[in-house]
Structure 1
Amino acid sequence: MTASPRSRRRVLVGVSAVAAVSLGVGVAAGTRITSPEDAAAKTAAPKASQITVPVEKKALSSKVVGRGDASFDGAVNLRVETSGLNTPAIVTGKVPTVGSTITEGKALLEITGRPVIGLAGVLPMYRTLSPGSQGPDVLQLEQTLDRLGLDPGEVDDEYDTDTSRAVERLYEKAGYDAPEPSEPLRQAVDQADKTVDQMKNALRQAKAQLKQAKDAKAKDTSVQQGAVDDAEENLADAQEALYEAEFKAGTPLPVSEVVYVKTLPRRVDDVKVERGGTVNGVVMSASGAALVVTVKVDAQTAERLKAGMAATLDLGEGTAVAGKVRRITRNGDQYDVVVAPNTLTAKQLALFRDANVRVTIPVKSTAGKVLAVPVAALSSGPDGGSRVEVLRDGKVELIPVTVGLSADGFAQVTPSGDAKLSEGDQVVVGT
């Protein structure tokens, strides 16, 4: 059967439509077909680029930074030796308040109506001193009296009459009567004085008898003369005994009336007694009048520090004050670095007392501004020397350098030989 012309046209149009659709699908599919090489190129990481920073010109300062608690320097416990008292050690007055100052030569407490005078010294008061005493504690006393301008005579280890008089002046300066010698010593003086009077009378009688014998024209007055000689000798012995008794009855220094502290003045931190109470052991604790901050560091850090180094103490908010390292002492596996402010106003003292303080101690610094690069920019060359990589005109140049002070992540560098390195040059710190 033969198709009509209209039927043939519909078939041709249908075939053309299918072909056009197939061509579109093919083109679309073709755009999505990628070779393995193209796929690898498209998924590969981008080529690494170099990270650079400019060479800077700056002052470098290596420092130790830490935090520590503020306190008053050198706390000590004060004890009064009361074994020499014949009555209970009752506190009768002069009880200090916390925060008050112990001053050398002044009474820091009153026990049984008598003062306990604070003096500076390293040997404790362990016995009553009196005329005739000898030893290093006497030497310490005389050195103290001399320092206070109380004139103990020759400064030696013997407690003599000059020492007694200086002790009297010490008590007078403190506002108290000087201590009295013991009753037996006073009685010995009275007895010696009476003996001197008796010997004087005996001498007068012997001389009178000698005179009578001579007036009577006695041929032999040897007996009477012998009696005078004996009486004169006895009087001399009695006067010597009186001098010795008076010497021994000079002003003593009772063991219970002095407390030695290594250094004065000091601040009272705590009081352990009250008026009317009995002294038993520690009466108070005291520290230095100067406020300090103690920072704990390890052994390696301690090796970089020494007494006298400048420091800054800071509470923040504009409270920084200048100070110095006072001392460094070992404390177990660590070291205590004690830093003291140079000066403090009353307001600053109130702020710093018992506060936790930031302490900065410069250890070493450059003399002005120097070329500096980040420590990460340094590398080691084949010869073991240091170098930096400088990016110039898209190319990397290796510049040998001598490394100086390192601080805060930067290092001082100086180009070696004919190499050139200037502020602003871009050094490679990574890729």
Structure 2
Amino acid sequence: MSRRAARVLVPVGVLLVAAAVTLAVLQPWSSVAEAPDDSKKPVTAEAELTTLTSDLRINGSLSYGASIALPGRGGTITRLPAAGDLIGVGQAIYEVDGKPVIAMRGDRPFWRDLGIGVENGPDVRQLEQALADLGFGKDMTIDDEFTAVTEANVKAWQKALGVTKDGVVKLGDVVAITAASVRVESVKAQLGDSAGASPLTYTSTALRVVAKLTDGQAREILPGTAVTVVLPDGTAVPATVTAVDPGGQPTEKEGETTPPTANIEFADPAVAEGIGLRAVKVVFATSEVKDALVVPVTALVATTDGGYAVDVLRKGGKVERVAVEVGLIADTRVQIVGGKLAAGDAVVVAQ
């Protein structure tokens, strides 16, 4: 996480410290009135040198990303896919008047018929690149001009589809998608309906995580931040924040706006396959101390002067109370930054 992010998120670690210290004060084992009971063998844990990390955990959910409505066109719908179908470039998304509507890779919608004599434009370049990607780019220069070579490649592509070979890509014959394949999310039309309205919505085919943020987190978390996603079965997998949406957009409910969110993508999308759209945890590392001398939080004893101590089991079974200073607290462990305590010492822990 960036230094800027750490400045805001580190207070989470501070809250953990406060919570843990409060716990130490309130629990019976931490009472200064109690001395170690030499008649019973105490339960101990070893003080150790390790890397201690304080984490910020945010709720997230698995998602296929934003829902996109397929644009409508003229004609009558004669075939439709099913929700959940995966459709790749070069394949028919649905059918109108008995003719397939083909998915082509592109960042902008096609808005006109494309054929010989059409004015130069970026849509021509997009069509030529899509044809070339599909294997129909013989002798063709990818540019803004629709040439006789472009027409020949369009005809070859039309022949492969089994449609009329007229060398013209009419408006509505193809639809631009921004990925190599898409997933049909929902089908809104029925066979025989007019194709004028959007017939279906689609999403990406890859699962990612969408996590809700606070306004402060949305300002401080940056794209490119490495995180860990904890899946429903407890598996921890690496991921990266790819985008942060500050929210604030109106919703269908009056007076409500969209919350800030972070889009998070897996290093290996296959780790989420077959899980479904489940809830997950997103873990941000906010503070880290290397070579920290660490003991369990339950080893802390509150002292009368407002400080802390630990009980150390020495050789021969004697228990010595040692004053200490605490640093970072993460989960159930605390860093010892001062006092006569060394790695390997056996500290008494509460049961």
Same fold? TM cut 0.5: yes
Change (3 A) 1:114 1:310: same
SS of residue in 2 equivalent to 1:255: coil
> Would you say how many aligned residue pairs link Structure 1 and Structure 2?
286
Q: Does 1:162 align with 2:149?
A: yes
Change (3 A) 1:371 1:275: same
Which residue of the partner structure matches residue 293 of structure 1?
209
Matched-pair contact (CA < 8 Å) for 1:78–1:284? yes
Matched-pair contact (CA < 8 Å) for 1:325–1:337? no
Q: Does 1:315 align with 2:315?
A: no
Deviations 1:299-354 (A, max 9, x none): 444535643624233213x6x36241352322426532233442447xx634x223
Deviation of the 1:111 alpha carbon:
0.8
Which of 30, 33, 38 aligns to 1:49? It is 33
Letter paired with 1:111: V
Matched-pair contact (CA < 8 Å) for 2:207–2:269? no
Which residue of the partner structure matches residue 127 of structure 1?
112
Work out the CA distance in 2 between the residues paired with 1:156 and 1:397: 76
TM-score (norm 1): 0.56
Work out the CA distance in 2 between the residues paired with 1:106 and 1:289: 15
Matched-pair contact (CA < 8 Å) for 1:99–1:268? yes
Range with bigger deviation, 256-265 or 291-300: 291-300
Work out the CA distance in 2 between the residues paired with 1:72 and 1:111: 27
Which of 354, 366, 370 aligns to 2:277? It is 354
Letter paired with 1:337: A
Which residue of the partner structure matches residue 140 of structure 1?
126
Deviation of the 1:279 alpha carbon:
1.1
Letter paired with 1:275: L
Work out the CA distance in 1 between the residues paired with 2:158 and 2:333: 64
Deviation of the 1:258 alpha carbon:
1.0
Deviations 1:212-240 (A, max 9, x none): xxxxxxxxxxxxxxxxxxxxxxxxxxxxx
Q: CA RMSD in A?
A: 3.8
Deviations 1:19-73 (A, max 9, x none): xxxxxxxxxxxxxxxxxxxxxxxxxxxx953899988324423333233332222
Matched-pair contact (CA < 8 Å) for 1:308–1:325? yes
Work out the CA distance in 2 between the residues paired with 1:286 and 1:321: 29
Matched-pair contact (CA < 8 Å) for 2:104–2:174? yes
Letter paired with 1:329: V
Letter paired with 1:49: A
Which residue of the partner structure matches residue 256 of structure 1?
172
TM-score (norm 2): 0.67
Q: Does 1:266 align with 2:182?
A: yes
Would you tell me which structure has more helix in proportion to its own residues? 1
Work out the CA distance in 1 between the residues paired with 2:228 and 2:324: 40
Taking the TM superposition and a 5 Å limit, the aligned residue runs for 1:13-412 are: 48-49=32-33, 56-57=47-48, 58-82=50-74, 89-93=75-79, 95-133=80-118, 134-151=120-137, 153-173=140-160, 175-180=161-166, 251-302=167-218, 303-304=220-221, 306-307=223-224, 309-316=226-233, 320=235, 322-332=237-247, 334-341=259-266, 342-344=268-270, 349-350=273-274, 352-362=275-285, 365=288, 370-372=292-294, 374=297, 403=327, 406-408=329-331, 410-412=333-335
Change (3 A) 1:301 1:161: same
Work out the CA distance in 2 between the residues paired with 1:339 and 1:63: 17
Change (3 A) 1:326 1:159: farther
Deviation of the 1:137 alpha carbon:
1.3
Larger Rg: 1
Letter paired with 1:122: D
Work out the CA distance in 2 between the residues paired with 1:354 and 1:70: 5
Range with bigger deviation, 252-261 or 160-169: 160-169
Matched-pair contact (CA < 8 Å) for 1:310–1:361? yes
Change (3 A) 1:390 1:107: closer
Which residue of the partner structure matches residue 316 of structure 2?
none
Change (3 A) 1:111 1:411: same
Deviation of the 1:255 alpha carbon:
0.7
Q: Can you give the 5+ residue segments of structure 1 that lack an aligned partner in the other structure?
A: 1-46, 83-88, 181-250, 380-386
**Aligned sequence identity (%):** 24
